Amino acid sequence: MDDPGLTGPPGSEPATPQLASPQPAEAPAPAPSVDLGRYRLLQVISIIFITIGLLVPITVVLTNAGLLSSQTADFERLIAPALLLLAGVLLLIIGLVMNVVRALIVRAPLPPSRYRGPSIFVLLLLAVVIATIVAIPAVAGSEATLGLSLLLLTSTQIGLLAVTGGLVVIPRTLEGLRLLPPAHLGRSLLLGLGMSVPAWIGATLLSAIVTVLLTAFGFKEVPGPAEQVVQQGDPTVVLVAFLVVAPIAEELFFRGVVYNAWEREWGPRVALFGSAALFAAIHTSLFALAPIFALGIALALVYRWTRSLPASMALHAGFNTISVVIAFLVRLNILKIPI
């Protein structure tokens, strides 16, 4: 018997079953467009302010180096350079703040898979400005107390922590960034500590080669504030600064922020070499540039393999521990360095 649902009245053609046509799959929503034109003027003004703010202090310091370092300089002669220096710094701060505000507004509509924060270079400049402001009490202090020495030695790390927390973590410009320890925390720490020994050996050999080459060309190594504190400062300050503060702050910024941001925007290769280059540049030592760059590569590779900031922190802390122990042995005349 025919199915009444498929037959019509007598003498009519059988009804054709009506099949529901498949609905086309919805295309994924396009990424929100970023209105650059609306904030272009703000960007131009901020870049002008940043440029002037950098050039003015550098020019003042270079042209008045002897006057600024003199202990007997007349106060009246210091007024003009000091005011120019202050004006340049204020312009720099205003320009950086304007650039940050623009970036946070313009990049906010980007998808969570992208980096939605200010330029890494702007973050680094802000960290340097904050570090300079933090270090002023330590530099201006008449007595080198334990607290002031620690403040001076960790001022850069304080700046890095400030921009990481204030402009990345709180506004969530890097979605998915894991700051908490992973489930395999013990394995990550062991890997980092284990890698610290070959990393230190490689960096030390590279440092020896660089020292020989630069010395042959007439360059002379001048110990920076960190080296001076290690050689002459309180051991407590050195241990806290190099074994605790530096690994945490620098890994949060250079591996947590810089590596992740550039990996999302430019790919893993740029993230690897770029984060290592910035890491080396922040240490501002010609003799240490190549060894610190090599260490930055090792730190970035460990983070890339494990996706664990504690792993790179452990490598960093282990590397610094070996360096500090060697420095104290030399300071106590227990160990002699031929170079």
pLDDT for 322 equals 93
- Assigned token pair, 143: 């007595």
246 close to 157: Cβ distance less than 8 angstroms: yes
| Secondary element (H or E) of residue 42 | helix 40-63
Instruction: Give which of 317, 324, 322, 325 is closest to 188, Cα–Cα.
Output: 317
Against a cut of 0.85, is the pTM above it?
no
pLDDT for 38 equals 63
pLDDT for 330 equals 75
pLDDT for 4 equals 47
Dist CA 315 CA 193 (whole Å):
5
In order, the DSSP letters of 96-161 are HHHHHHHHHHHSTTS-TTS--S--HHHHHHHHHHHHHHHHHHHHH-SS--HHHHHHHHTHHHHHHH
Number of Cβ within 10 Å of residue 187's Cβ equals 13
The low-confidence residues of the chain, meaning pLDDT below 50, are 1-7, 16-22, 24-33
pLDDT for 232 equals 63
| Cα torsion angle, 127, 133, 139, 144, sign | negative
pLDDT for 210 equals 92
Dist CA 147 CA 155 (whole Å):
12
Dist CA 57 CA 88 (whole Å):
6
Interhelix angle 185-216/309-331, rounded to 10 degrees, is: 50
Torsion, Cα of 185, 188, 189, 194 (10° steps)? 160
Instruction: Give which of 257, 304, 309, 274 is closest to 116, Cα–Cα.
Output: 257
pLDDT for 198 equals 96
CA distances in angstroms from 2 to 7, 8, 9, 18, 246, listed in the order given: 7, 10, 12, 17, 84
Domain ranges of the chain: 35-106, 107-331
Dist CA 97 CA 174 (whole Å):
19
Place of tokens 């070959």: 198
In the DSSP assignment, the letter for residue 4 is: G
Dist CA 279 CA 240 (whole Å):
20
Distance of CA 79 to the CA centre of its chain: 35
pLDDT for 202 equals 95
